[in-house]
Structure 1
Amino acid sequence: MRRVVITAGSAITPIGHGRQEILHSLTHGISGVKALRKDDLLTDFIHSGVFGTVDYPVAYDFKRSFRKTMGPVAYYACQVVKEVLAASGLDPGFITSGRLGVAFGSTHGSPTIQREIYRKFFGGTRDAFSSIGAVDYLKSMVHTTAVNITKMFGITGRVIASSTACTTSSQSIGFGYEAVKYGMQDAMVCGGADEYDTTTVAVFDNLLACSTAYNDTPHLTPRPFDAGRDGLVVGEGGGAVLLEEYEFARKRGAVILGEIIGFSCGNNGGDLILPNVEGIKATIRSGLENAGLGPNDVDFVSAHATGTKMGDVIEAMAIGAIYGSNPWVSGLKSYMGHTMGTCGVIEVLISLYMMAEGFIAPTLNLVDVDPRCAMIRHATRIVDSPIRIAAVQNFAFGGVNTCILIRKFDG
């Protein structure tokens, strides 16, 4: 079996663009949750007034030939991949050789573009219908991130375009890991992106799953595992990692950030909305088995921890049942909200950053631990502690569960 290492990564998040900005926010307790911007979706009817927002400029310099098929979500995706490939030092000939593949996705494609298409389609006039551009579908389709990446960088290897809501980018990393591990590719660019749009807020708001109590103090929500939590906060961003076969990376002198040693993906086989403790436990166990680990080997768990009333309880129960109170647990969405299809890759990158720096960021806004979530070892302040092995777990609508196990690379 081939070893799989991570050799580059980048993210655009509500708490910063790139490693240094993200680390600064984590170590200074800075939230990226802001007031929801008004748009044309009748946001006055949405109860939640908060969003994890990328409110700083991103310097895109894409050629027009690439921009014409890109909606906002593809801009995020192509920018982080551009940064990853630049940092990787990969030979341009390898990038186009067919031995590099892409596993990248988003929750919706581009809802901004989709909404404009529907507006024109149902405009009631021939002129409105005719104004739909020839490339509008390419901007909006659910696999727009993956294929715009292949176009921009000339990548000719396999393409995997996961679209499983909250597990989109963790599945992308897991499927990329398997493609490299089993020799189908020598390297994979993996990740996810989702853009700012209130459609997703409206969906969760209608399900009474969004935070509403902190509309006037956005930085105080979400509150994973806290007794005062009242729901999730939708966010935006993009993230990517480069996975390589270890010997290939070693021979070319690549900088190795960490090693993926296990991945699992399972389904609850039942309710499509409510999380299931048995399904989550089964996925965690499967991930540990895939990595050849026992529960006591894991030092840190990056919990999915969206801040919903029942989701956090069920996840805490699952973590407690498998790990007990041994590993430190943090809910990283507390800093930036739920970045949807991007959350897995961002949480993998943050785990790598903390692994390299030797600390664990606390769950932001965790002041009063819900007694129903108290059976696990919460990080409520910055913990100076080495992380040798981290587990990143994500759970999605549809009952999809994932777990990624990462080991610190020690040479």
Structure 2
Amino acid sequence: MQNKKEKKDRNRSTIIVVILLVLLIIAILFFWNRSRSTGKSTVVEKDAIVSAVDSSDTTERIDTMASHSVSDTDTIVLQSADTVKKTDVVVKPVKKAVDKVKKMDTVTTVPDTIKIDSSVVTDTVIHKTDPCDSDTTRPWVYPDPSGGRHHEDVSIVFVSDKKAQIQWRFKDATKWNVYDGNPVTISATSTIEFTAYDSCNNAMDVRSEYYEIVRGESEKYCPDGMEYVRVSDQQFCIDRYEWPNRKGSRPESFVSKYGASDSCFSKNKRLCTADEWTIACMGPYSWRYPYGQAYEQYACSTHDTTFRVSGSRPECRSFFGVYDMSGNLAEWTDTKSIENRQFYYVKGGFWESGPQSNCTDKRYSYYPQNRHNPVGFRCCSDIVNK
């Protein structure tokens, strides 16, 4: 009996020990889960607090006119941890609505911090509206028709490239006349001087044109449309304009020397020699350019992008009344070059030759059978007695 009792006591003790071990394990698991859950809650709380503080600071920066801070209203509610599994509820702070009107007021006040000197602004406006500050170009005036030899009385008008007051006088006169738009008649050989200035006092240098009146000379010795040329013992006739020798027509370009000779022959004329061409250009006073000794940028078509119709530049007239001998189109001659006898001289320059397009300018690297875009021609003939 005693043995049975001892056996029961041992079994009971074993059961109690097992139960205590189970309870101990449960307690250990409970506290382990409790500590891990508490750690997570702490992290959430810290994140919520940081978020609340950041939101509060942002709200304070946006609403610069607010009278109190949003951070005072931040609340964090945590559920009691009565069980192993716990749900943490974080109520995030509600942002205050941004006062849009005050935000706009904040932006619009920025330009007020820029101080502007009104006197400087006023002076700048006045400076820009003064047209004379940007206008430094002198007027360019020329008489039409230009000077040189004429066969009858000449009625000239002055042409200006801009609005200007034009003054003129005959050489050796002391008084200047204000040009009123009416033609100035020249009936005898004389020199006329002229100048001009605009409203900004940009003045053109005094220029002069010499007019020689010799009545009926070309009609006596030359066919219609040609001018009589005589210098020393040389005399001949030359076309007034480049082929087809009509004022206002487009001169023919891209033509070979042979084609030019054939065209002249069809009119009972011939291609000019290089010497004839030079004499007709320089005149009796050996001018460097057909209109005078000094280069005039606007007188002839020497700064253009293409050629112009014949006679469109009134001042591009030689002493003998021959037009467009400087610039526009270079012109074939019937003279072989000394440098290479296979080539023929081409005279006068073309529309973009600039100052080089003078009376003595010549080119010789042109085969007679070849056609060239800037090259045309004019015809000459011997004099005839009508």
TM-score (ref. length: structure 1): 0.24
Greater RCO between the two (CA within 8 Å, min separation 6)? 1
Q: Looking at CA atoms only, which structure, 1 or 2, has the larger radius of gyration? A: 2
Name the one with the larger helix percent. 1
